[in-house]
Amino acid sequence: MTDAAASVALEAPAWAPELRLLGRADYEPTFAAMKQITLERPVGGRDMLWICEHPPVFTQGIAGKQDHLLLPGDIPVVQTDRGGQVTYHGPGQVVAYPLIDLRRAGYFVKEYVYRIEESVLRTLAHFGVTGHRVAGAPGIYVRLDDPFSHAALTGPRPGDDPFRGLGKIAALGIKVSRHCTYHGVSLNVAMDLEPFSRINPCGYAGLRTVDLSTIGVPVTWDEAAQVLSQKLVAFLAP
């Protein structure tokens, strides 16, 4: 991570979490730390936003099914307590962990998820990419044939693949304990995407996974991390 990224300045937002830029951080100690902080968090404790990337790792959600792990090979698999199925984290992916008190924020989990997704949509828009939501499938998707098209998605007909023509560019998995959040969202920037072929991403067989580099957007990790941080601070504000 460059010095520029480490000195991200957020311009006097109404909500100012403690921003921690962790650089490349091993997944398991990061998971353990945010869980411990949440469990020990005092009432009124300051909200935080952690930004990092992880060495290669597969993570399983609390209800994750083993058969969605197709061929993990030499990449470790870590069982977590977040929602969702299996996903992959690796270099070239921006991972954001908001640790916030939803009671103080004044909104519930469904809106929290919406606000995180909106932050990703606005981050993609900053780089000229149109992201999309898919009903019932948390995360953000792009059109594989034209990721810059502003046309709205048309709902699939009964029996159609809801992901036809789409690639997943951001994955979401959260946990709420004592009304406080941890885990978060990952945005694919410039990765080795091969490990996604070793799993059914987020539990969907055959789901394509893409990154900004693959769809023709030459953005650095630092640039994407800075913009995503700013959007999360703006859209998660009470």
- Measured CA to CA, the distance from residue 19 to residue 11 in angstroms comes to 13
Segment 95-111, tens digit of pLDDT = 999 999 999 999 999 99
Mean pLDDT across the chain: 91
pLDDT band with cut points at 50, 70 and 90 for residue 154: confident
35 pLDDT more than 90: yes
Average pLDDT over residues 153-157: 71
CB of 210 closer than 8 Å to CB of 167: yes
pLDDT band with cut points at 50, 70 and 90 for residue 215: very high
- Measured CA to CA, the distance from residue 42 to residue 157 in angstroms comes to 49
Considering the chain, what percentage of its residues have pLDDT values greater than 70? 92
What pLDDT, on the 0 to 100 scale, is given for residue 50?
A: 98
- Measured CA to CA, the distance from residue 116 to residue 119 in angstroms comes to 5
CB of 139 closer than 8 Å to CB of 162: no
State whether residue 29 is helix, strand or coil: helix
Average pLDDT over residues 172-195: 97
Q: Hey, which residues are catalytic here?
A: 202
Instruction: Read off the tokens for 149.
Output: 């098209």
List the domains of the chain with CATH numbers: 17-149+164-235 (3.30.930.10)
Closest among 32, 12, 173 to 98, alpha carbons compared:
173
Task: Reduce the secondary structure of 161-188 to three states and give it as a string.
Answer: CCCCCEEEEEEEEEEEECCEEEEEEEEE
What pLDDT, on the 0 to 100 scale, is given for residue 44?
A: 87
User: 235 burial class (0-12, 13-18, 19+ CB within 10 angstroms)?
Assistant: middle
Average pLDDT over residues 165-180: 96
Instruction: Read off the tokens for 39.
Output: 């469990």
Show the DSSP H helices in the chain as ranges: 3-6, 27-40, 102-105, 109-126, 221-235
Average pLDDT over residues 32-52: 95
- Measured CA to CA, the distance from residue 34 to residue 40 in angstroms comes to 10
Closest among 171, 174, 125 to 150, alpha carbons compared:
125
159 pLDDT more than 70: no
What pLDDT, on the 0 to 100 scale, is given for residue 162?
A: 82
What pLDDT, on the 0 to 100 scale, is given for residue 13?
A: 53
CB of 213 closer than 8 Å to CB of 93: no
Segment 130-142, tens digit of pLDDT = 999 998 899 999 9
State whether residue 143 is helix, strand or coil: strand
Angstrom CA distances, 102 to 84, 86, 107, 111, stand at 20, 26, 6, 10
What pTM, to 2 d.p., does this model score?
0.91
